[in-house]
Amino acid sequence: MIKQQATLSLELQAKMDFYQKQGYKVPTLDMIKTPEEIEKIKASGVINTAVLDHVEKHIKAGMTTQDIDDLVSSFTKEHQAICAPLNFEGYPKSVCTSVNHEVCHGIPSKLRKLKEGDIVNVDVSTIYNGYYSDASRMFIVGKTSKEREKLIEVTKECLALGLKQCKPYNFTGDIGHAIQSHAEKHGYSVVRELGGHGVGIEFHEDPFIYHFGKPKTGLLLVPGMVFTVEPMINAGGKDVVIDRYNGWTIYTKDGKDSAQVEHTVLITETGYEILTY
Ligand code: MF3
Ligand code: CO
């Protein structure tokens, strides 16, 4: 999809100039969506959410992660949409399924059976009418340990606190700082190597959204920006390793659990709107 050129109000232009003159980084025009683009990304988000609801309804012990891939792929097709991960930079499946100490980009497999107590991140990304949306949820298979429940709870809180910082004239560093402070307060750590991203016209656009950082640093947020916030929170240390065979799956280095939740959000005039609810 070719990006339309956003027309900025005089007020927005003046504010961006004001911040830029003070040495702050401000978004470029390609990071600001037009109202028409936003409507189309919203429509994509509606389907993306329906896919996750569909997974939520069916996920259970004994299923394989390939079964989740099948659910996502068939449901998405039935809704005239496309699974964004499939063939993205050579990714071989339609969804990412990351279990326990897998941080992200777990590749569905018919050899990977879900068992009681597993915690699974299902990361769904949809192309509809040419526009992208991206969100992920954590699922608990049956009942799990108190420790795993708490990791998931705190990860959801991290996302909520990060989103709370999503408003005009805050900075990307405010989002990262809110997430990092909350995770570390609970003795957890934040994965550094991966982050949120602009989304909508392409799968991964600028800006990169760090899930750690300092207030009033990074890039200025302005109305019309659409990006994901998707903190990866580790029960143990922050370090991760990549699967040397498939080149995709990220694991915690210490083998401890990791959790992630993700939404696509729009910066509005007054705050944010989640496009993947
Ligand atoms: N959905 C992931 C994200 O949140 C991207 C996965 S890339 C894929 O950015 F190729 F693995 F799908
Ligand atoms: Co994403």
| Ligand 1 pocket at CB < 6 A | 85, 88-89, 91, 96, 105, 123, 125, 134, 228, 230, 262
Looking at every residue in the chain, the average pLDDT score rounds to 98
Calculate the CA 244 to chain-centre distance: 24
Strand partners, 251: 102, 241
Q: What is the 3-state secondary structure (H, E, C) of 147-186?
A: HHHHHHHHHHHHHHHHHHCCCCCCEHHHHHHHHHHHHHHC
Q: Give the length of the chain.
A: 277
- Residue to mutate (ligand 1; options 44, 82, 86, 88; most atoms within 8 A of CB): 88
Average pLDDT in the 103-111 region?
99
Query: What pLDDT was estimated at residue 171?
Result: 98
Domains within the chain, CATH numbers bracketed: 23-276 (3.90.230.10)
Q: What is the pLDDT of residues 148-166, one digit of tens each?
A: 999 999 999 999 999 999 9
User: Is-contact 229 262, C-beta < 8 A?
Assistant: yes
Cα–Cα distance between 119 and 141 in angstroms, integer?
A: 6
Q: Look-up: residue for tokens 């990262």?
A: 176
Candidates 162, 163, 170; CA nearest to 190 is: 162
Average pLDDT in the 120-138 region?
99
CA 221 / ligand 1 centre spacing (Å): 23
